Amino acid sequence: MGTISEKIFSRAAGKEVKANDFVLADVDYAMAHDGTSILAVNAFKEMEMERVWDPSRIVIPFDHIAPANTETSATLQKEIREWVREQSIPNFYEIGEGICHQVLPENGFALPGKLLVGADSHSCTYGAFGAFATGVGATDMAEIFATGKLWFKVPESFRMTVEGSLDKHVYAKDLTLYLIGKTGIAGATYKAVEFYGQAISELSVAGRMTLCNMAIEMGAKTGIVPPDEKTFDFLKNRAVAPYEPVYSDPDASYLKEFVYDAGDIEPQVACPHQVDNVKPVGEVEGTHVDQVFIGTCTNGRLEDLEVAASVLKGKKVTVRTIIIPASRSTLLAAIKNGTMEILLKAGVTLATPGCGPCLGAHQGVLGEGEVCVSTANRNFKGRMGKDGFIYLASPATAAASALTGEITDPRKI
């Protein structure tokens, strides 16, 4: 009878609920980073609240402007640190620990069947673990800080099935961009998108995180991959609490169902200035590139760095190329297995684990008219510099483009 979302909200609301119901739900874990937590903290104080509802269920990572790029940023971060100490919040992750959407899964907060809410639009990433995860604004987060509860409209669900296997040199990012191109930036507005099929099952946990991370780019409230053995293996010795996997019933009601063939998907590129302006790489091949950026909460994980290294091994980049691992543990793993040495010998620039230039604050913003191939999740005008042009692609396409100085099909390298 129920979808994954309906079941998770039924548990969180303490009663059976269906799509389009309005519910007051208990939040399992709440996250706010350095860019949003100060707003939530200020709202919390304006509510004249003294103590948060449960310090152990709040996670505060510093990632967006880390290290601070101005005195203003440094002062705001100082205020957050003081509040974290005052509230005895144990799950505080300092500068360099990594991006929030990597830090939470690595530390076992993204759990099947749980309701996770983050003060960041890409909090839907945690749906890769079978959770219902979504982003909210700072004032909503303040309410969660105070009560542990928030109201929701239970979303209707889409079911997307991708049959068959992805071809060699076609990656989770290509699949994700392809689906966004088919759906459109508003095609799944306020829907929970469940992903199924052989191609989805064959994705690694990292690949599923890429997919769910960008569910918001088709307007979705969340994206969900039903948990399986890959999920459970990842969570072994990580999970901070017991969890109960949730699955949709065979007779669950979906507003729409879509079926795609993985064999139809080739390397994809999202062209300026919309994420659904997606084209096969061959249609934009040869476009001049000034900068390549490999990282972010979408594609800064170890397997992404390994893919980039496989393209760059023994070669030299011809344009400035910035690589930012998604977390400190990712960086350490890349050092340990030799991936980072390959990348550095190829001439890339390594920066502190975090969001980097994705939000246009520091560590590689674009100059007037400059073009960047990025593995990030957004390419809106002004995102990395007010007059820059961003092409979104997989780490393989980004690395191939770094070698040639123009957008390049990685299958040709």
pLDDT tier, 265 (very low <50, low <70, confident <90, very high otherwise): very high
The reply, when asked if residue 100 is annotated as ligand binding, is no
Three-class DSSP category at 94: coil
At residue 363, does pLDDT exceed 80?
Answer: no
pLDDT digits (tens, 9 = 90+) for 107-166: 999 999 999 999 999 999 999 999 999 999 999 999 999 999 999 999 999 999 999 999
In a domain, 342, yes or no: yes
The reply, when asked if residue 212 is annotated as ligand binding, is no
The residue type at 82: E
- DSSP per position, 225-270: ----HHHHHHHTTT-SS--------TT---SEEEEEEGGG---EEE
The residue type at 162: V
227 and 284: one domain? no
Residue 175 neighbours by CB distance under 10 Å: 24
Instruction: Report the distance separating Cα 39 and Cα 140, nearest Å.
Output: 10
In a domain, 265, yes or no: no
284 and 181: one domain? no
91 and 153: one domain? yes
Instruction: Report the distance separating Cα 28 and Cα 202, nearest Å.
Output: 29
- Which range of residues forms the domain containing residue 313? 270-412
The answer to whether residues 291 and 322 touch, using CB atoms and an 8 Å cutoff, is yes
Portion of the chain with pLDDT greater than 70, in percent: 100
pLDDT digits (tens, 9 = 90+) for 182-219: 999 999 999 999 999 999 999 999 999 999 999 999 99
The answer to whether residues 407 and 373 touch, using CB atoms and an 8 Å cutoff, is yes
The reply, when asked if residue 297 is annotated as ligand binding, is yes
254 and 279: one domain? no
In a domain, 385, yes or no: yes
In a domain, 359, yes or no: yes
Place of tokens 């969340």: 222
255 and 281: one domain? no
274 and 179: one domain? no
Q: Of the residues 196, 227, 260, which one is the last residue of a structural domain?
A: 260
131 and 275: one domain? no
The answer to whether residues 294 and 304 touch, using CB atoms and an 8 Å cutoff, is yes
255 and 347: one domain? no
CATH number of the domain enclosing 282:
3.30.499.10
pLDDT digits (tens, 9 = 90+) for 24-82: 999 999 999 999 999 999 999 999 989 999 999 999 999 988 898 999 999 999 999 99
85 and 109: one domain? yes
86 and 203: one domain? yes
